Amino acid sequence: MMDDFKNQKCLHKRYAFQIVLQMREMLRSQPSLVDINVPDGSHFTVCGDVHGQFYDLINIFELNGLPSEENPYLFNGDFVDRGSFSVEVILTLFALKCMCPSAIYLARGNHESRSMNKIYGFEGEVRSKLSEKFVELFAEVFCCLPLAHVINQKVFVVHGGLFSVDGVKLSDIKAVDRFCEPPEEGLMCELLWSDPQPFPGRGPSKRGVGLSFGADVTRNFLQDNNLDLIVRSHEVKDEGYEIEHDGKLITIFSAPNYCDQVIES
């Protein structure tokens, strides 16, 4: 399938249906916050936004190996939109998850939503490569994606960031009813949309949704939940990553050929 996609061939709709429907069943049974255990001596790869860059995704696998139980990945949201190969990216990630669920974990990003897909290209691409029925099906499956992951009870991985209120516990995130389009405010919205800022406290978001949060907010959240580190995505980084907040927060971006360098990612 991946070789066909490299040669810009399409997958028959029947197989695409099988993959997406199986994915829906698998994701429905997962909690909103997924715990991941990585054994001592093993490694684990977290990837940031891919944004429809299929050839970047292939490049990641060529450099780092295909996902397997011995080589697990977490893709941290924003699989689709902007790039021209969002259908290929999402079907590849879903098919890998169906083949070996413990080899690959998928989190929801702010672009796994109906309103963003309408504006930024995924909806139109799905219509042209698959059908109108798939537009609805993908929207439904995106609502089943978990909102965050915790690796070895120490590393919190989320697409966007932290919250407008103090004292949020991991149990509060687990309790979020995620089976919906992202709301304009509240925990789910902030998990998908927020960004770090270089100064303390909280501020308005440059995006108009979510908020900006400082190193003190990061430190307090980590202390409240006995965590060591936050890994998030959501912003373009020229080097592919950036370490902030006294080393307690890492942003990862995984679409090196991302064409339009804009704030909203």
User: Alpha carbon 29 to chain centroid distance?
Assistant: 18
Contact 3, 93 (CB under 8 A): no
Pairing of strands 155-158, 148-151: antiparallel
111 is catalytic: yes
Closest C-alpha among 173, 174, 214, 167 to residue 195: 214
Task: Report the DSSP pairing between strands 155-158 and 229-232.
Answer: parallel
Phi, psi for 191 (deg, rounded to 5)? -60, -35
Query: Which residue among the candidates 12, 43, 51, 111 is catalytic per the annotation?
Result: 111
Question: Can you tell me which residue has the tokens 């960004």?
Answer: 195
Which of the residues are catalytic? Answer: 111
